[in-house]
Each structure stands twice: as structure tokens, then as C-alpha cells.
């Protein structure tokens, strides 16, 4: 099986070099050959700091695709997938982080599952164990609940996956790919499955993903399902409007059926009227938002990604 290993990175050259050597050992036992494509997301250091020189057996080449500016790892993945689709043909694409949190053992598990399905299905690594702090896990749990409420889908995967080459034909024209790789796969409705794989630890350095970047990453995943989110919020707004209307009617009936006017009835009717106006406004906004998105083509990765590529550098080629 011929693979391309797609790794977005920013200054994680040392971790990437160690990880590639470990993966080379795994691929030897899996009867695979692989080309490695590192998506350099505007690193401040050169690839020479990684120490990539040496003997590889299964790894046939290592290349770096340098971007013109820092776009984030999701958009780096999108550019890498488009570049692979345009320039070469492989049996599958292995997408993983370069810092070591996606492990060589996980690569072996993905390859076995991919072969078991005869290369017809995308395989995601489902995180069976995380190594982050307790606070992060709590916030991540709250995000999963929010994501489920807004989209109807559970969040259980990251970037670590193996993609059949045939899937690229669909993914590279999905505008959602520009915002979030995994969510765009879900949105494409292509068959996939998940296998439990523990998350590893970074080989070197510290993560550049601060709290703001993580929130942005989460919102990007939700934005892929903008029409679903808009529809759910529209239904919730209409349901709230209906409840507010019923409350106003009951308050008015209370006012008209008694000689003495209770103070709470007038206050309740006025408050519910303001809430009703807000719900109607929200419903109108969500309706216009959904209609506008239906007619907007937006960013097409296959057409637009090449604008962000500065150059391709050969790091290792026997």
C-alpha cells in the first residue's frame, strides 16, 4: 500500500523528525511505503533544525510545503489535501499531527482497520484516553454538550485519520473543508467509522494552542453545520414565540375576567410581549442567514488553496 502522510506543523521540526523515524519502523511491519508531506504553517525556524537526515526504509521521501502565512492547522490540512489531489496518486492519505500526540501505535491501528475494510472507508481515531488537564477536560465536555445541542452530532474525533484516495474527489470541493477537516468529512456523508486509540504526549516543546485558539477551533467545527444550527435555532425561536404568545393570552384573559386587575398580570403581559418581539426578531435573522448561505458559494479549496502556497522544499529524497 502506498501512503502519503500529511502533517501540519509550526516549528515542531524536532518532534516531526523523531515521529517520522518511529512511523518508518511501523510501516516496515505493515508492508507499506509512504511519502511524508509536512505543511509548514509559517514556521519561524527552518526545517534544518529537525535533523531529518538518515536512513529510512518505508519512508520514500519527506517534503515540506511552505505557506505564505499562518493559517492554522485545519486550513493547513485543507491545503495539503488539495495539493495531494492535484500532484500525486496514492492508495490512502494518513492525516496526523506532527508533535507526537498522534502515536506510531495509532498509525498501526488505523492501517489494520483500513485494510480490514479493504480501503473503502475513512477511519478516524476516537480518543479513548486524553492527557490534558482536568480543567481542559471539563471545558471540552461542556463544548461536546453544546455541539450536540446545536448540531445533533457528538464530538469524539480529531484530525488523526486515514482517508481513502477516492474521498479526495469530494472533499477538495467542499467549502467546509477550509474551516474544519473532521466536520467536513461528517458533512460529506461519506461512510466512516471510528476506532478507539489513546492520545499520546508531545515529543518536544509546548503546544501553541491557547484558550482563544481552542475556542476558535471549536466554533469552526460548529460553523460547518451552519444550516443545521440555524434551523435548530429557528425552531427554538418559533417555539419560544409560541409559548410567549400563549402566556400573553393567559395574562389578558386574567385581566378581563376579574374586577380588580392584578399587578402581576400586567407586568407578565408586558414582559412576555417584549420576549415575543425578541423571538420573532431572532427567527427573522436566522431565516435570512440560512437563505444567504444557500446562495453563497464561498471558498472552494480546489480552486483557491494554491494562492497560499509559497514553495515546496525537498527535505529527504534517496
Q: State the pLDDT at residue 293.
A: 64
pLDDT band at 66 (very low <50, low <70, confident <90, very high): very high
The pLDDT assigned to 132 comes to 64
pLDDT band at 284 (very low <50, low <70, confident <90, very high): confident
CATH class as words, domain 2-211+300-316: alpha beta
Q: How do beta strands 192-197 and 122-127 pair?
A: parallel
Q: What per-residue confidence (pLDDT) applies to 55?
A: 84
Kindly tell me if the per-residue pLDDT of 80 is higher than 60: yes
What confidence score (pLDDT) does residue 90 get? 92
pLDDT for res 201? 85
8 Å CB contact between 66 and 35: no
C-alpha dihedral, 259 to 265 to 269 to 272, nearest 10°? -160
* Mean pLDDT, residues 114-136: 81
Q: Is the pLDDT of residue 114 over 70?
A: yes
Q: What percent of the chain has pLDDT over 90?
A: 40
> Considering only 27-31, 125-129, 239-243, which range has the smallest mean pLDDT?
125-129
Among all chains, which residue has been given the C-alpha cell 521521501? 61
C-beta of residue 240 within 8 angstroms of C-beta of residue 280? no
pLDDT attached to residue 297 = 66
Q: Which three cell numbers stand for residue 249?
A: 393570552
- Residue 220: what pLDDT? 79
Q: DSSP states of the chain as a string?
A: -EEEEEEEESS-HHHHHHHHHHHHHHHHHTT-EEEEEEEE-S-SS-GGGG---S--SSEEEEEEEEESS---HHHHHHHHHHHHHHH---SEEEE--SSSSS-HHHHHHHHHHHHHTTT-SEEEEEES---S-HHHHHHHHHHHHHHHHHHS----EEEEEEEEGGGHHHHTT-GGGGT-HHHHHHHHT--EEEEEE-----SSS-----HHHHHHHHHHHHHTTHHHHHHHHHHHHHHHHHHHHHHHHHHHHHHHT-SS--HHHHHHHHHHHHHHHHHHHHHHHHHHHHHHHHH-----HHHHGGGGEEEEEEEE--
Q: What is the pLDDT of residue 228?
A: 78
The pLDDT value given to residue 222: 77
| pLDDT average, residue stretch 133-162 | 80
pLDDT attached to residue 292:
64
- pLDDT tens digits, 196-216: 998 888 887 777 666 777 777
- Supply the pTM of this predicted model: 0.81
Question: For residue 295, is pLDDT > 60?
Answer: no
Residue 316 has pLDDT above 60, yes or no: yes
Say yes or no to pLDDT of 135 above 70: yes
Q: What is the pLDDT of residue 239?
A: 83
Sheet with strand 59-67: strands edge to edge: 192-197, 122-127, 157-164, 92-95, 2-9, 33-40, 59-67, 309-316
Distance between CA atoms of residues 185 and 67, nearest Å: 23
- Stated length of the chain: 318
Amino acid at each position: 500500500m502506498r501512503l502519503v502522510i500529511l502533517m501540519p506543523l509550526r516549528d515542531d521540526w524536532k518532534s516531526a523528525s523523531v515521529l517520522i523515524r518511529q512511523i518508518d519502523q511501523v510501516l516496515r511491519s505493515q508492508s507499506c511505503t509512504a511519502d511524508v508531506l509536512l505543511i509548514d504553517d509559517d514556521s519561524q525556524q527552518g526545517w534544518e533544525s529537525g535533523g531529518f537526515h538518515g536512513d529510512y526504509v518505508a519512508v520514500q521521501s519527506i517534503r515540506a510545503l511552505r505557506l505564505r502565512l499562518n493559517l492554522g492547522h485545519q486550513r493547513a490540512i485543507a491545503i495539503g489535501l488539495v495539493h495531494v489531489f492535484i500532484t500525486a496518486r496514492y492508495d490512502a492519505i494518513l492525516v496526523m499531527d506532527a508533535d507526537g500526540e498522534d502515536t506510531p501505535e495509532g498509525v498501526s491501528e488505523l492501517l489494520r482497520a483500513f485494510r480490514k475494510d479493504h480501503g473503502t472507508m475513512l477511519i478516524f481515531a476516537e480518543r479513548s484516553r486524553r492527557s490534558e488537564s482536568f480543567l481542559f477536560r471539563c471545558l471540552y465536555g461542556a463544548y461536546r454538550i453544546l455541539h450536540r445541542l446545536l448540531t445533533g452530532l457528538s464530538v469524539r474525533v480529531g484530525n488523526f485519520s486515514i482517508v481513502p484516495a477516492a474521498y479526495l474527489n469530494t472533499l477538495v470541493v467542499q467549502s467546509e473543508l477550509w474551516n474544519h477537516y473532521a466536520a467536513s468529512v461528517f458533512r460529506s456523508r461519506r461512510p466512516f467509522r471510528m476506532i478507539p486509540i489513546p492520545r499520546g504526549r508531545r515529543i518536544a516543546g509546548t503546544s501553541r494552542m491557547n484558550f482563544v485558539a481552542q475556542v476558535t477551533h471549536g466554533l469552526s467545527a460548529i460553523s460547518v453545520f451552519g444550516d443545521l444550527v440555524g434551523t435548530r435555532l429557528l425552531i427554538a425561536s418559533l417555539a419560544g414565540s409560541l409559548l410567549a404568545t400563549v402566556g400573553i393570552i393567559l395574562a389578558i384573559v386574567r385581566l378581563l375576567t376579574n374586577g380588580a386587575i392584578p399587578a402581576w398580570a400586567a407586568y407578565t403581559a408586558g414582559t412576555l410581549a417584549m420576549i415575543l418581539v425578541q423571538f420573532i426578531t431572532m427567527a427573522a435573522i436566522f431565516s435570512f442567514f440560512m437563505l444567504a448561505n444557500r446562495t453563497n458559494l464561498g471558498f472552494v479549496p480546489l480552486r483557491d488553496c494554491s494562492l497560499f502556497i509559497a514553495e515546496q522544499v525537498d527535505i529527504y529524497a534517496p
